[in-house]
Amino acid sequence: MRHDWTKEEILDIYNKPLMDLLYEAATIHRAQHNANQVQVSTLLSIKTGGCPEDCGYCPQAARYHTNVEGNDLMSVQQVKAQALRAKSSGSSRVCMGAAWRNVKDGPEFDQVLEMVRTINKLDMEVCCTLGMITENQAHRLAEAGLYAYNHNLDSSEEYYKEVISTRGYQDRLDTIDNVRKTNVTVCSGGIIGMGESDEDRAGMLVALASLSPQPESTPINALVAVEGTPLEEQQPVSIWDMIRMVATTRIVMPQTQVRLSAGRTQMSREGQAMCFFAGANSIFAGDKLLTTPNPDVNEDMEMFKLLGLEPMKPFVKKSQPESVEAQYSKYKDEGEKPKWTRPEHKIERNEQAKAAAKKLKV
């Protein structure tokens, strides 16, 4: 896996003829993942509004006049109820977000740790996005059973300062580095449609792909412009830009789960299908992403059925295609005929499968 991509190389990929780009991304996706499985996460705002930062896209910043109603930290029982609801709807992960600049040790953090332990007992992955954390706090989250920590880079280092001034780019990288000192996986991505250039989009992917290891999941968000924020006048990003961004992310980060995140309410099913074909294999489900709208979970399940997609089970590090040996083992142990022994797959002429069958004495 490469960690030395240049901005010029990524721009060349991003600007390929669309059909060539889709073909390359889909080929890599199918080699690394099960193309018909999608990881489903539910994003829950456990503490809303009142954030002291000035992120230009965020309606939770205290300095902006938006319609977001602030709420204190939710109780453990409230979070558990929401997690059970999410699980029954097909989610394998609950991501808890708190509008904090950074985590402060004390009763509220202890409460979050108890939320992590509670959801973990439900056999669900738990993710948190709480702002900046120290190495000690990362270890405490890991001990509680946290599966992933989200800390987005948002954009390229060059464009970042046009959107945020209260937290530096290196601050974000330091938090990711603190998470990497534990067994917690990293979720980090960004937002397109904030007025950045294609070069900035490529720069963000350079920063993400340069991390070693690369993030286990990368959300690609389309800006949802909210009235009262500095970016309220931004026009919705084109679906073609989203498709190109997803495909390019898949090519430069082949093993990462690429999450189709904010902005899906502005995308048609056809557009989302193209994103899945281009390599997206994760979504946020539920009618709200922290404070912005999201498609209803029933709509998503209808879309999955239409496209032949299925939700991924929890604690799957990487959704790989089933191997020849695994299919023949299932055939041997359970009497289930492997899909490539069916006539339409003509397995009789597949030398790899024959060797696997001989090895397993099927």
Domains assigned to the chain: 7-311 (3.20.20.70), 324-360 (no CATH)
Please give the pLDDT value at position 294: 61
Secondary structure letter of residue 348 according to DSSP = G
Cβ atoms of 327 and 339 within 8 Å: the answer is: yes
Degrees, nearest 5: CA angle 121-175-258: 65
Q: How far apart, in whole angstroms, are the C-alpha atoms of residue 244 and residue 18?
A: 8
Q: Where do the H-state alpha helices sit in 311-350?
A: 324-334
Catalytic option among 95, 140, 244, 250: 95
Catalytic option among 30, 140, 244, 259: 259
Q: Is 95 a catalytic residue?
A: yes
Catalytic option among 128, 140, 187, 250: 187
Q: Is 58 a catalytic residue?
A: yes
Catalytic option among 93, 127, 128, 250: 127
Catalytic option among 2, 30, 51, 93: 51
**pLDDT digits (tens), the chain, 362 positions:** 889 999 999 999 999 999 999 999 999 999 999 999 999 998 888 888 777 777 878 777 777 767 766 678 899 999 999 899 888 888 899 999 988 888 899 999 999 999 999 999 999 999 999 999 999 999 999 999 999 999 999 999 999 999 888 889 999 999 999 999 999 999 999 999 999 999 999 999 999 999 999 999 999 999 987 888 888 888 889 999 999 999 999 999 999 999 998 878 888 899 999 999 999 999 887 654 445 556 677 888 889 999 999 998 888 765 545 444 444 444 445 554 444 333 443 343 345 444 544 554 43
Q: Is 128 a catalytic residue?
A: no
This prediction has a pTM of 0.83
Please give the pLDDT value at position 248: 98
Please give the pLDDT value at position 360: 45
Strands, E, within 54-154: which ranges?
Answer: 93-98, 125-129, 148-150
Q: Is 147 exposed, middle or buried (0-12, 13-18, 19+ CB in 10 A)?
A: buried
Q: Is the dihedral of CA 261, 251, 313, 176 positive or negative?
A: negative
Please give the pLDDT value at position 256: 96
Please give the pLDDT value at position 261: 86
